[in-house]
Amino acid sequence: MLALAWSAACVVAAYGYGAALARALRVRFEGSSERLLLSATLGLGVLSLLVLGIGLSGVLRAWVLWVALGGGGALAVLQWPGLLRRSSPQRGAPRLRLALMSAFGLCAVANVLGALAPPSFIDALYYHLLGPKLHVAAGAVVEIPWIWQTYQPVAVEMLYTLGMALDGPGLACVLHALLGLFAAGGAGLLAKALAGPRAAWLAALIAYGTAMIAWESTSGFVELGVAAFGTFCLYALLQWGRARARGWLMLAALFGGFAASCKLPGVVIPLLGGAVIVYLCVRARSGARATAGALLGFGAVAFLVVAPWYLRAFVWTGNPVYPFLPGLFGANAEYADLWVNLGHYGTGRGLLDFVLAPWRLVTAGDLFERAQFLSPIPLLLGPVILWRARHVGERQWLVAFAAAYFVSWFASAHVARYLVPLAPLLAALCADALLALWDEGSRLWRICAVAAAGPALLMGVASTLVYDAPLAKVALGRESETAYLTRTAWHYGLYRRLTAELPAHAKLLTSLGGTYYLDRPHVGMKPRGFKAGAEALARRILDGQFTHVLVQAGEQEAAVLACGAPVKLLWHHEDVLIQSRSFGGGIPHKVALFAVDGGVGRALKPGWGPAAPAP
Amino acid sequence: MDRKVVIGLLLLGWVLLVSAFHFQQFVGPLMRLLGRG
């Protein structure tokens, strides 16, 4: 529970940095909720950059991070009077608002509690949290050559690094869960701007009260970062379109840059933001010079924010967007492999698949990895949203933005959770459509509004609670972490066994992913590495000074055995990999452990990390 | 028939149709959760 106190300290520091930056840009906030949400989210982006700088400087120590937080805290003390300004009063049905706020609060508590459970989802164990764990152990942001994802912009992982260094994985995951709460706040602000104060809590709950957000908040992913930064980028553009104050444009650029800093596909946000700027300038007949100025200013600031990430990848690999664009920056083996993995989601890439994708996402979610966890309300209200966007104006460009983002999603991997960044925007459009249906006054139209929102919201809140229940149980100490992780985390039993049996100076070469709980120095190897021939594999094992080799039984085991004398089979281990943390199901799995003969690892320094130095 | 009634009925039909296909996905997991699957 110390993690919750630390997370409050992080939010205060983030607010300090964000509010100071907004003040420097002369942004005038309308009320305290707008100020708090935008400043704290912006500040989390600033903190991610600070952690990157600290990590690349090789001084990733807790006391350095305390100083960084202290700086933000001091700025927060100077900025606190701004929080006293009240937001515009809420109007409308107070009971409905209370119900919406209560449901939202319930989901928020469940998600934050769930985030405190020890990490168990495979993607987090594979890289989202493994990378930060290795950085903290090394005291620096280090290169992890066997995980291509770590070459991407990874701003959320820098917040994970901050959380791990200060407290542990609980704080790390809570920081990401907070980004989800801020993103929902962004949905509320967008809805308020479009349809008035009544729409705010409705939009926030539509965006937040889904099993998808519960899954995201509790699994150590990164999409809630793109969602929060992306939504506030849009909100700032909306405000800039209205008042033309340059501060809002710069704020949009900062948020756009931070959205692009969360993962490579996040660059779509500032790119589409640029298109919005051109559209707004053309509509306002601003002239070519003013349009170019706004676009250049926005682009330059957004690029400046994300540039350290591209530069880092370029220095390490020669490709700023590694492993993508191999035609431009040189071929790499990862590119083909990653499409083998990502290509099997969805139903296809034809025109019909594109047209049917919204329907299939909502009605056949398993094809897109749990798309049924997304809210169906945007599809249910799709006709109303499109009808309301028929005239030129804010709704129209917001709908066009959502459509363009969806096209970019369809062009990449068809994984449902990659659509999470759209959820706040769609929720705002849904709240606007619902109020339009309600205010029209016809009983039939009101029935439509209730039928579209009621069951979906109830289902969303209920599935959030069902999803979070087993995670909250372990977070509250009602189930032991070992029992929980043995039940839910891939290879947990195997990694505990290895940690217990192997000496501290052991160094493993392994083909298994998700090595977060393997507390011995190790290096990963892709399956293609076992097809390079026995001689190449033996050289890899000996040159790497490995003491042990851990591989899947079968083909990989045979390839290691073919190396001959240097390796000796120690044992086999059989495992069942969990399919769903909530609903169970398992995949049988068998691995083999080899000892490397010749004692090449004897002189290795004890320690943790991918680059444990050889003498 | 009034234009608004026609639009309302069409919209209600769409909402019910999509909802039916959407919520049927939860029947299996719910049964499993209740120990009947």
Q: DSSP for A304-371?
A: HHHHHHHHHHHHHHS-TTTTS-HHHH---HHHHHHHHHHTTSSS-SSHHHHHHHHHHHHH-GGGGSSG
Evaluate if residue A256 carries a pLDDT over 80. Answer: yes
pLDDT of residue A578: 77
pLDDT of residue A20: 96
β-sheet bridge partners, residue A509 = A523, A549
Query: Containing H/E element for A189?
Result: helix A169-195
CA A493 distance to own-chain centroid = 27
Q: Spell out the SS3 assignment of A539-567.
A: HHHHHCCCCEEEEECCHHHHHHHCCCCCE
- Give tens-digit pLDDT for A313-341: 999 999 999 999 999 998 888 887 777 77
pLDDT of residue A90: 61
Gap from A351 CA to chain B (nearest CA, Å): 21
pLDDT of residue A608: 32
Evaluate if residue A172 carries a pLDDT over 60. Answer: yes
What is the pLDDT confidence band of residue A158, given thresholds at 50, 70 and 90? very high
> What is the pTM assigned to this prediction?
0.93
Mean pLDDT of chain B: 87
A583/B22 CB distance under 8 A = no
| Bond before A323 cis per omega within 30 degrees | yes
Q: Does B27 touch chain A (CB under 8 A)?
A: no
B22/A383 CB distance under 8 A = no
Report yes or no: A134 and A523 within 8 Å, Cβ to Cβ: no
What is the rounded average pLDDT of the residues A233-257? 97
A376 φ/ψ angles, rounded to the nearest 5 degrees: -80, -5
User: Which structure tokens are listed for B9?
Assistant: 């009925």
- Give tens-digit pLDDT for A91-130: 667 889 999 999 999 999 999 999 999 999 989 999 999 9
Q: Which residues contact A563 (CB under 8 A, 6 or more apart)?
A: A534, A537, A538, A541
B25 secondary structure, DSSP code: G
**Rounded CA separation A425/A53 (Å):** 32
CA A350 distance to own-chain centroid = 28
Evaluate if residue A515 carries a pLDDT over 90. Answer: yes
For chain A, give the percent of residues with pLDDT over 70: 94
pLDDT of residue A611: 41
Angstrom CA distances, A105 to A101, A205, A441, stand at 6, 9, 30
Chain B positions in Cβ-Cβ contact with residue A372 (cut-off 8 Å): 22, 25-26
What is the pLDDT confidence band of residue B30, given thresholds at 50, 70 and 90? confident
ipTM comes to 0.93
In chain B, the residue whose alpha carbon lies closest to the alpha carbon of A363 is B22
In chain A, the residue whose alpha carbon lies closest to the alpha carbon of B17 is A380
pLDDT of residue A584: 60
Report yes or no: A133 and A516 within 8 Å, Cβ to Cβ: yes
User: Which structure tokens are listed for A101?
Assistant: 């706020």
User: Which structure tokens are listed for A308?
Assistant: 């350290």
What is the pLDDT confidence band of residue A199, given thresholds at 50, 70 and 90? very high
What is the rounded average pLDDT of the residues A506-519? 93
Exposed/middle/buried for A568, CB within 10 Å: 0-12, 13-18, 19+? exposed
Report yes or no: A233 and A256 within 8 Å, Cβ to Cβ: yes
In chain A, the residue whose alpha carbon lies closest to the alpha carbon of B30 is A583
B34 φ/ψ angles, rounded to the nearest 5 degrees: -85, 0
Q: Quick check: helix, strand or coil at residue A586? A: strand
pLDDT of residue A344: 80
Q: Does B17 touch chain A (CB under 8 A)?
A: no
